[in-house]
Structure 1
Amino acid sequence: MLWCLLVVGFALKILLSLTMQYFKSDESVGERSTVIVTCFSYLLVAMMVLIVDEQKLEIGLDRAYDSFNKSAAAFLETQGLDSKGPASKLVLKFFLALWCALIGALFTFPGLRMAKMHWDCLRYCSENNVLKLLLNMSFASPFVAVLLWIKPVARDYLTSRVFTGMTGPLMSDSAFESMRLLFVVAAVVLRLALMPVYLQAYLNMAYYRLEEQKKEAGRITNIELQKKIAAVFYYLCVVTLQYVAPLLLCLYFTFIFKTLGGYSWLGMFKDVPEYSVGSEQTPGRSPLVENGSIQDTAQQFSLALDSLKQANFHC
């Protein structure tokens, strides 16, 4: 779990560093505006998604919030404090929408770069049908992964509906959960396997820049032409980071989801009991309660939480 968080942190740091370059340069006005507009667009989309009923979209936020609320209230109660839990669910959803907007802003130019390289790859491999199929599967895999979390489309269809001539559904709940995890991992592995093809499509931009330069009227010095071509190769490291970092984020977020959710990779082959989030034992009384300073600090923390909840209620 700790290693997964470290990888996620480093990947976010890399994407944030690349995005901040657009805000430090005076020549990147267009890129800066694109990032800002994309951030607010994803904020709007995230807020719309978070109001969807849990019966339609399997976010699991309601169950996670209830479990955390009960655990926090039980912990404060064992410390001798009276509290109704953390802040309201509306505040939690708002900060979650802000987090989604930040991720969307960081994925802006990696997504645009990926779309451009995919379009170029389809042009270069027009005669290789197998490679074209793999490229299209890789490009469509994120959309299919999103569909797996829409309950009427995926879970109800595969785990509840009984087709004609069958005595039961196609999958059990544990098999469906494992299938979703394995699909995300397979999509990441497929895209990593196709990385040389995508990067070669990017490097081919140098050839096309040279061909376009031949068609333009006027003169250009050899040094300027070399700089124009070499810029493609110098930027290859940035393109590679923009390609790999989002994949690592998706992969290790899947590992974290599997660990915290109590799921199994072998759910498709054997039945695994469903993990209950609220099944943990109530935390016992800490021996530090005897210390008066700890009690005072905990009481102040409880009062701050109650004040925050009342402020949110009045808002």
Structure 2
Amino acid sequence: MEYAQLGRSDLQISRIGFGCMSLGDTYAGSEKVLHRAVHLGINFFDTADLYAKGMNEIAVGKALKPFRSNVYIASKVGNQWRADGSGWDWNPRKEYILEQVEGSLQRLQVDCIDLYQLHGGTIDDPIDETIEAFELLKQQGKIRHYGISSIRPNVIREYIRRSNIVSVMMQYSLLDRRPEETCLQLLQENNIGVLARGAVAQGLLINKPPKAYLNYSPGEVELAAAAVHKAADEKRNAAQTALRYVLQHPAISAVVAGIRTIEQLEEAVAALKTPVIDEKELAVLKEAVVANKYEQHR
């Protein structure tokens, strides 16, 4: 396993992180995969209070409890379930964050969350109030560090300017190169770690039938997937090629892979042992489809 420092934090995290949202519904199955991940060297596990209405945090906390001193647990806050369970609403208020962290701590069975992230964000949020909540939680020892999970450049710029975030989680893949325009360089210049999610674009770069994705047509998605498969070889399959594309950007601290099975886990971890994508292959991948850019929230 390879490790990298997460921004200006003191966390040395595995370059393949475990995205817990995809875990199955049974605890026994989740425990087996999570334990195997620890044994393979993964030490960064990402969940959220939103996932399965808190049950995901419970499963993750229980499974990782025996390894607590050797792993980092990240969670997220900001999406408030409606009383009738019909959906959720955005709530970045200080009072709400301070209230919800208590539930996450209890479900995760920890005294301190290693990385607590705002699960979204808009430019119209009370950003200073949100930051106050995270800073207070740090002072209280309930969280070690905080970050945001956002793809919005205008929101990211404000948190860089006004807060002490150590990380930003954002979607990034060959089919979502929007972060390459400005965000990745900006975060790298400010020593803020990037946690990349969606590296295989919902499986469209690997084995899922092509469909419209973001601003790309099914035909363009098919072209990108074909380029990924062409760049694969006997040492690196399509999934690992898609992961390599993301991992090779210097701003990326880790890829947080959505993992459900042992097979997916071992394939993702093995990507780190595969050859890097050379400049010629990289050029072919990038030329497969025109790089997209953010149209909103710039």
TM > 0.5: no
Bigger RCO (CA 8 Å, 6+ sep): 1
User: Under a length normalisation based on structure 1, what TM-score does the superposition of the two structures give?
Assistant: 0.24
- Structure with more of its chain in strand, by fraction: 2
User: Under a length normalisation based on structure 2, what TM-score does the superposition of the two structures give?
Assistant: 0.25
